[in-house]
Structure 1
Amino acid sequence: MLPGRCKNGIIISKVPVIQTGLSGVMQKHFPDHELTVCRAVEELTLLQLRRSDLVIADLTGECHYPRNVCEQYYTLISQYPDIHWVFLVSRAYYSQAVELLISPVSTLLSDVEPIESLVSTIRAGNNNAERVSKALLSPVRSEHQEFGTRSIILTLSERKVLRLLGKGWGINQIATLLKKSNKTISAQKNSAMRRLSIHSNAEMYAWINSTQGARELNLPSVYGDTTEWKTKALREMSHS
Structure 2
Amino acid sequence: MLPLKGRHAVVISKIPVMQTGLGGVMACNFPDYELTYCRSQQELTLLQLRRAGVIIADISGDYINPRGALEQYYGLLNQYREIHWIFLVSRPLYSIAVELLMRPESTLLSDMEPIEGVVSAIRAGSKRSERISQTLLIPDCPDVDEESETLITLTHSERKVLRLLGKGWGINQIATLLKKSNKTISAQKNSAMRRLSLRSNADMYAWISSTQGMRELSLISAYGEFEEWKRPLHQDILQSSKIAQ
TM value normalised by structure 1: 0.77
| Range that drifts further, 39-48 or 184-193 | 184-193
Distance 1:211 1:41, change over 3 A: same
User: Is the contact between residue 12 and residue 37 of structure 2 (CA under 8 Å) also seen in structure 1?
Assistant: yes
Task: Give the letter aligned to residue 31 of structure 2.
Answer: P
Per-residue deviation, 1:154: 2.5
Please list, as runs of the form range in 1=range in 2, the aligned pairs for 1:33-52 lying within 5 A after superposition: 33-52=33-52
User: Is the contact between residue 17 and residue 209 of structure 2 (CA under 8 Å) also seen in structure 1?
Assistant: no
1:189 aligns with 2:189: yes
Deviations 1:103-141 (A, max 9, x none): 211111222233222222111111111111111111415
Per-residue deviation, 1:180: 2.9
Per-residue deviation, 1:172: 2.7
User: Residue 191 of structure 1 aligns to a residue in which SS?
Assistant: helix
- RMSD of equivalent CA atoms: 3.2
Distance 1:160 1:53, change over 3 A: same
User: Residue 154 of structure 1 aligns to a residue in which SS?
Assistant: coil
User: Is the contact between residue 94 and residue 139 of structure 1 (CA under 8 Å) also seen in structure 2?
Assistant: no
Distance 1:227 1:82, change over 3 A: same
User: Residue 169 of structure 2 aligns to a residue in which SS?
Assistant: coil
Distance 1:64 1:187, change over 3 A: farther
User: Residue 82 of structure 2 aligns to a residue in which SS?
Assistant: coil
| Range that drifts further, 17-26 or 130-139 | 17-26
| Range that drifts further, 94-103 or 119-128 | 94-103
User: Residue 27 of structure 2 aligns to a residue in which SS?
Assistant: helix
Please list, as runs of the form range in 1=range in 2, the aligned pairs for 1:134-213 lying within 5 A after superposition: 134-141=134-141, 147-149=145-147, 150-151=149-150, 152-196=152-196, 201=201, 204-210=204-210, 213=213
Q: Percent identity?
A: 61
Task: Give the letter aligned to residue 59 of structure 1.
Answer: I
Which consecutive unaligned segments of at least 5 residues does structure 2 have? Answer: 239-245
User: Residue 136 of structure 1 aligns to a residue in which SS?
Assistant: helix
User: Residue 136 of structure 2 aligns to a residue in which SS?
Assistant: coil
The CA distance in 1 between the partners of 2:80 and 2:110, in whole Å, is 23
User: 2:90 is matched with which residue?
Assistant: 90
Which consecutive unaligned segments of at least 5 residues does structure 1 have? Answer: none
Task: Give the letter aligned to residue 17 of structure 1.
Answer: V
Task: Give the letter aligned to residue 36 of structure 1.
Answer: T
TM value normalised by structure 2: 0.76
User: Is the contact between residue 21 and residue 205 of structure 2 (CA under 8 Å) also seen in structure 1?
Assistant: no
Per-residue deviation, 1:164: 1.0
User: Is the contact between residue 175 and residue 182 of structure 1 (CA under 8 Å) also seen in structure 2?
Assistant: yes
User: Residue 135 of structure 1 aligns to a residue in which SS?
Assistant: helix
| Range that drifts further, 198-207 or 49-58 | 198-207
User: 1:124 is matched with which residue?
Assistant: 124
1:102 aligns with 2:99: no
Task: Give the letter aligned to residue 74 of structure 1.
Answer: Y
The aligned length equals: 230
The CA distance in 2 between the partners of 1:146 and 1:92, in whole Å, is 20
Task: Give the letter aligned to residue 25 of structure 1.
Answer: V
Per-residue deviation, 1:196: 4.6
| Range that drifts further, 108-117 or 186-195 | 186-195
Distance 1:8 1:38, change over 3 A: same
User: 2:74 is matched with which residue?
Assistant: 74
Per-residue deviation, 1:80: 1.1
The CA distance in 1 between the partners of 2:230 and 2:60, in whole Å, is 21
Distance 1:182 1:52, change over 3 A: same
